[in-house]
Chain A
Amino acid sequence: MHEDVLDPGRAAAAGAALGQLACAPPERGLLISTSRLVEFNVRATVLLAPGLFRLDLTPQEETLGVLTRPLTSHPVRWRAEQSTWDGYRDAGGVAPLELHALFELPDGPLTAWLHILSFTDRDAAAVHFVAKAELRVPAP
């Protein structure tokens, strides 16, 4: 199970149309990285970890819709660093968003740390997203 979901080749292939990059970090795990320009009111997949989750973002002028779609039937718990969310409406800067997940897989847990930067371009009615996900097997 871990071998499948941490396979960078699989992640890169699944996210190929999205321009998603994937690689294995020095320690065991998976890094996926991408960027996307999304128009207001459009739902776009920003990160795709096959067999684990898909992150869809729907930017609006004053709110950001965040959907973590599970791609596994195994339990997963998500939490957000809510203190970092207030910058979304501020078009003058880059707003960071952090999400953490814990996947309870049959061969042991897997953690995910998602870091998403957004920059709202109101003149273009769109938001630039730069996102990465780090998937790791936690130390016992």
Chain B
Amino acid sequence: MRRVSFRVPAEEKEELLDALMPLLPAGVREGAAERGEIELTTVAAAAPERGLLEAAAGRTLAGWREEEVPADWRARRARFGGGAFLVAGRVLVRAPWDPAPSDPAVLDLVLERGGGGFGSGSHPTTRMCLALLLELEPRGAAADLGCGLGTLAIAAARLGWAPVVAVDRMDGAVAAARANGERNGVEVDWRVGDLEADPVPLAELILVNAPPPVQARVAAALGDAAPGDAAPGGGATVRHVVASGVVPGELAAVVDGYAAAGWAVTERREADGWAAARLEPAGA
């Protein structure tokens, strides 16, 4: 396989792609903007002709580089990265074949995808929940409700929250999450459960990256106890809720549900058309 990369001015990228995309059937991977330029990379069995692309673009393509690369995408990712997600500069969510962080201070979460589970780190809601989680001082138990691959539960456990319980309705996701927990050396109580019907486990920290119906059930469970008081049954005093899995247009109704239970938004985030919020007991 041939890998070709070149740089284009960031402000002209879309106009240049109008000319280049029809000639690049394998598509392009866009790098981060640096000094006003963006690196575009394409990988294909045969490298595109530089002259053809430059004629279409009407300009020289700076930094043209062409090299032989492995056909296997895992080997390419191990060499070039591109599949890992760094959150707030403090947590790297990656697959086993992605390069490990070079900074030992970065929390390294290694997640194998599988089981149809959500939470590989590629989705903005996962990254926003992690960012909101990182701002909290670890103190007490945590519950990851709708845990998917277990990303948030594992992150909470690695940050010092304990004990941690995690629930998802998909058997396959919970199996993958359990394996991910072992891979990351954390103890989490992994459970299969339907959060729209089954009792909602509560803890000092509740992480809910799940659709509005699940948010409504969590809010109702919180409403059974006064904010700051021990929750019925579990004995936990819920202090923080990190909620996402909703779009901005849905967030108001979700927040209203928590407000009815005595909770107020203390932080709010939006990214790529998704929303997240951290809530604490109103007046706390």
* A residues with CB within 8 A of B: 14-15, 17-19, 36, 38-45, 48, 54, 56, 60-63, 69, 71, 89-92, 122, 124-126
Contacts and interface: CB of A to CB of B under 8 A. Distances in A.
Contacts of A38: 27
Contact of A60 (B14, B25, B122): B122
Given A42-B26, A43-B30, A56 B123 contact: no
A43 B29 contact: yes
B22 A45 contact: yes
B123 A63 contact: yes
A49 B113 CA distance: 36
Contacts of A63: 122-124, 272
Provide the main secondary structure of the chain A interface.
Answer: mixed
A45 B27 contact: yes
Interface of B: 14, 17-18, 21-30, 43, 73-74, 82-83, 113-114, 116, 118-120, 122-124, 272
B25 to A, nearest CB: 5
B120 A62 contact: yes
Contact of B83 (A14, A41, A90, A92): A41
A90 B21 CA distance: 28
B118 A89 contact: yes
A48 B22 CA distance: 8
B116 A89 contact: yes
Contacts of B28: 42-44
B27 A54 contact: no
16 contacts: A17-B24, A18-B22, A38-B27, A39-B73, A40-B83, A42-B26, A42-B27, A43-B30, A44-B24, A54-B18, A54-B22, A56-B21, A60-B123, A61-B120, A61-B122, A125-B74
